[in-house]
Amino acid sequence: MDFFEAQDQARKKTKWLVLWFFLAVIGVVVSVDLLVIALAGGGDPVPLVVLASVVTGGIILAASGFKSMQLSAGGSVVAEDLGGRLVMPGSTDFEERRLLNIVSEMALASGMPVPQVYLMDHEEGINAFAAGTEPSNAVIGVTRGCLQRLSRAELSGVIAHEFSHILNGDMRLNMRLMGLVFGLVVLSMIGRGMVELLRFQSISSRRNNKEGGNIMLVLFVLGLGLLVIGALGSFFGRLIQAAVSRQREFLADASSVQFTRNPDGIVGALKKIGGSEMGSKMKSPKAIEASHMFFSNGGMFSFGLATHPPLDVRIRAVQESWDGEFVRSEIKPVASDRKTKNEERKGPLDGLPGAVVLGAASGIGQEEHRRISTGQELYRGLSQQWREAIEDREVAQAVIFGLLLAEDDQLLLGEVSFLEKAAGVEAKELALHWQAEVRGMHSARKIALVELTLPTLRGLGPLEYERFRDITRWLIASDGHVDLFEFMIQRVIERHLGSHFDRQAFRKIRYHNFDRLLPEANILVSTVSEIGAGSAEDAEAAYLAAASDWKARFARKGVSSHAELDEVLEKFDQASPLVKRRILVSCVTAAARDGTLSSREAELLRTIADSIGCPLPPFPGELVEGEI
């Protein structure tokens, strides 16, 4: 199964999730109605039952809607609720630095934006989670126990497991589930509040006012009843969590092994959880709401409905020869920071033969095309000095400005003048410096550099972001014609930062059939066909190869404006995962038809994929040894 199919399965599970939720709501409403009938004490209970049903259902739906709206802001909401602290890109702590390096390497290897990382300092158990509505606003959260007790290989296995949840669509499903489950437990919260409030009322005040005392008693019993019924809602919530998440954990474990090519990593982490006194326990009172998101069971009482398979079952699924012995985990001494062997290595990647790319095209989304070693090569192919520099917000902006500056002297003069007025002399000088630094760099490293700036750029203030966005838009439009790479860079930046700053909600899928998007597919494939073609005949041959299985025939037509390209990408962004896979296969086929994949073509393919919310891993190059 590739991650497109996994995403499609997760999307289909969402429909069942909604059905299970409404069945649970009905069960809770009926329970409240029975409680109201019991407290009515005779008479006609129908009006009270109708009122109770409407109020109860309304509270549950409103609570779920509120929580879902809150979660639409992204994974940072979950991380902060669980007591997480944002790990800043410039952290000098060795353990935090190692964690950031691993996350960056895996993001580059996956072709997705580098997520923010949160550390739960007070959690001693070994656990982690991924949260967000899409890769653009995803966060990775880890406990302090993970950093202190796991080796680099084991920590990589855990993080790879969480990346799998992001790529396979589990993260989005889990966020929706978290919003719905909150609605089911809210009655328990209300009942607990009523009981806590009313039990402090003095007995004497009830005796002085018999009528008032009777009302207080009824309210107390009602609160107690809601507390019990809320427990029923919690049970339904746990049932749904278990039904949704257990099988997805096996898939994520297998994906982790494929990603890292090291089964001992994730197996070692699971063994240490089993051998540790703290295990994977979470102390946060809100952990139960997110229990289905964690790497391992957070230690919450599950009523026999665990959200994760047992540790021994997970271990044997990866390592059949396991002897059944867990590993006692101890806190490791903090290592001193050191430079990575061969870390300063730079140099362009060679172009890939078209046959290699064509062979990979049919398997887009397969785990074997995603290797952490590729991310390590890209990450370490950028000098340590560069990586440290872009942790500064001004430098990170200057990198993007430098990528967008024109090479033509006449155009460059006007762009530099504007940049100096809009951002200042220092910003102009930095942008010119980075323009010179990235000139001639291979597309894979160029895109890697852009993705590594994202965690730093998310640290901009709202006004800083607006200024940065406006400057990039002006630089792109300044030459008056469509430059595809510039446009794609802008779309990638605005997609990933817009999701963070504009608090975009869950994206809806509107197109489930590829044939509905054939005119838009024609524009994209035509554009890709023309980028690397030496002649009109070559472009036509590439186009026909890519469009050979389409039901309708079109004349080759490339993109004519920014607005047209933006509209095309927006539609594919709203397509189902399987539709996205098909357009990417067509684009890769067109690009590699001439036997080679140029840097320019690779830039376009990667940015098209990113623009439609579909990470496309870079193709493996020469590996670089050594690690922190």
Q: Which of 162, 415, 494, 520 is catalytic?
A: 162
Q: Work out the pLDDT band at 342, boundaries 50, 70, 90.
A: very low
Name the helix (H) or strand (E) containing 120.
strand 116-120
Mean pLDDT of 161-177: 86
For range 284-294, the mean pLDDT: 84
- For residues 41-66, give the mean pLDDT: 84
| pLDDT of the residue at 371 | 72
Q: What is the mean pLDDT of residues 257-263?
A: 86
- Average pLDDT of the chain is 80
Amino acid 369: pLDDT: 57
SS3 category, 615: coil
Give tens-digit pLDDT for 131-150: 998 888 899 999 999 999 99
pLDDT of residue 81: 92
- State the pLDDT confidence band at 80, using cuts at 50, 70 and 90: very high
Nearest-10 Cα torsion for 439, 441, 447, 448 = -120
Using DSSP bridges, classify how beta strands 139-143 and 85-86 pair: parallel, antiparallel or unpaired.
unpaired
For residue 96, indicate whether it is catalytic.
no
Q: Which residues have C-beta within 8 Å of that of residue 309, sequence separation ≥ 6?
A: 246, 249, 250
Which amino acid, 364?
I
Give Cα 231 distance to the centre of its chain.
31
Residue 117: its pLDDT value, please? 95
Q: What is the dihedral of CA 5, 7, 13, 17, to 10 degrees?
A: 180
What span, in angstroms and rounded, lies between the C-alpha atoms of 509 and 511? 6
Give the pLDDT score at 564: 84
For residue 358, what pLDDT is reported?
47
pTM above 0.85, yes or no: no
Mean pLDDT of 168-179: 84
Position 154 pLDDT exceeds 90: yes
Q: Which residue has the higher pLDDT, 278 or 366?
A: 278
Contacts of 488 (CB under 8 A, 6+ apart): 603, 604, 607, 608, 610, 611
Which residue type occupies 361? A
Q: Is the pLDDT of residue 336 over 50?
A: no
Q: What distance in Å separates the CA atoms of residue 136 and residue 492, rounded to the nearest whole number? A: 9
pLDDT digits (tens, 9 = 90+) for 595-619: 777 777 777 787 788 888 877 777 5
Question: Which of the pair, 338 or 364, is modelled with greater confidence?
Answer: 364
- State percent of the chain over pLDDT 70: 83
